[in-house]
Amino acid sequence: MELAERIRKLPPYLFVEISRRIAEKRAQGVDIVTFGIGDPDLPTPKHILAALKEAADVPANHRYPESEGLPELRQSIAGWYERRFGLAFDANKEVLPLIGSKEGIGHMALCLIDPGDVALVPDPGYPVYSIGTMFAGGESYLLPLTEENDFLVDFGAIPADVARRAKVLWLNYPNNPTGAVADIGFFEEAVAFAKKYDIVICHDGPYSEVAFDGYKPVSFLQAKGARDVGVEFHSFSKSYNMTGWRIGMAVGNPTLIDALMRVKSNLDSGIPQAIQRMAIAAVEGPQDTIGEHNAVYQRRRDRVVSVLQGMGLRVRPPKASLYVWARTPEGYTSAQYATRLLDDLGIVVTPGAGYGEHGEHYIRLSLTIADDRMEEGLRRMEGWAGAK
């Protein structure tokens, strides 16, 4: 049989390969400590689980949901955005629940990209931005995120002829994988660039509630004129430890929200309503667990940064996100250093090159690992003779 060209061109998904390597080592009897995938180890808060259990007994929730989500959920999301960022949205036209923000990010390319169109994609960056573009028949123009520029997009470095061809610009702050953050001034510069070249901005903002040292991330949509040109993707996964329940949202420009809803309605049957009830409980219930979780992540961040710096790696303590981004020693590619950690210590980290060519010579460590396993991994690294 002959598969579609898009499948033949598709690289292995980064974390599938990491999972394969872990399984291989465990089969050999190696005790693996993984700092790989950003999947919160802390449980979903009890009041959110209680809402699921109650909703599971309601017969109406046993049937197909609507693609656009429950009106109550859309209103709850709008209310959360107003309380958190001071932004008012029309819950019927500017809010769309998603089966996790990844689903919406992947489908958004089908709303914007025709064959031959260009998407401006940060590098390093979440692989789905470029993969979704490829699925839609477009091509990605990579925007280097460099340490010298604080891992922010340099709009002045984008050639005018590329900008004129571009249909969409992907941004992501707080950033995965680098942990970088952006302020309103940066987002206003992005809006001005988008208006100049008639480009849609898609901002991926799932880490806005995972922040440290008193830092409070902003929303892209707080920038003046942002709603004219773009949407923001958000998620319940990182804010409320709900990765396994698969629920997120897109908020912003009504034309873009309508386009995404039309794509979704033809490709999926919506979010199970009992899970939507969980999401309502999350945003309308007590928010103190966010601060409690962040205190745990901040303590882990400080410990990881200290050990990595003691190993001679260059690393900036991130203000937000669930990741520590560290420069590998001279003479190592990211894959080579990650392989040495795995072979010598049984420790899994993510090679930066998996996020793009400008992620080369970096590794990413996730903070979503149980404290006892983290300490075991860090103990191994502290005593590692091959650190440099």
pLDDT grade for 369, boundaries at 50, 70 and 90: very high
pLDDT, averaged across the chain = 95
> How confident is the model at residue 383, as a pLDDT?
85
Task: State mean pLDDT over 301-323.
Answer: 97
> How confident is the model at residue 236, as a pLDDT?
97
Class of domain 5-43+289-382: alpha beta
pLDDT grade for 13, boundaries at 50, 70 and 90: low
Beta bridge partners of 231: 202, 252
> How confident is the model at residue 204, as a pLDDT?
98
Res. 34: pLDDT tops 80:
yes
- Topology alike, domains 5-43+289-382 and 63-284: no
Res. 357: pLDDT tops 80:
yes
- Would you list the DSSP string of 158-200? S-HHHHHHEEEEEE-SS-TTT-----HHHHHHHHHHHHHHT-E
pLDDT single digits (tens) 150-163: 999 999 999 999 99
Task: State mean pLDDT over 23-52.
Answer: 94
Task: State mean pLDDT over 316-342.
Answer: 95
pLDDT single digits (tens) 187-223: 999 999 999 999 999 999 999 999 999 999 999 999 9
Res. 22: pLDDT tops 90:
no
> How confident is the model at residue 24, as a pLDDT?
87
- 241 vs 290: CA distance, rounded Å: 9
Token reading at 7: 């499948």
pLDDT grade for 14, boundaries at 50, 70 and 90: low
> How confident is the model at residue 388, as a pLDDT?
66
CA distance to 164, 196, 198, 280, 345, per residue, from 160 (Å): 6, 10, 12, 44, 48
Contacts 24+ apart (CB under 8 A), 66-69: 66/270, 67/261, 67/264, 67/265, 67/268, 67/269, 67/270, 68/96, 68/97, 68/261, 68/265, 68/270, 69/96, 69/97, 69/270, 69/271, 69/276
- AA identity, residue 232: E
Domain ranges of the chain: 5-43+289-382, 63-284
Closest to 208 measured CA to CA, from 40, 85, 348: 85
Res. 19: pLDDT tops 90:
no
Task: State mean pLDDT over 265-284.
Answer: 96
CATH number for the region 63-284 comes to 3.40.640.10
- 368 vs 207: CA distance, rounded Å: 13
Res. 224: pLDDT tops 70:
yes
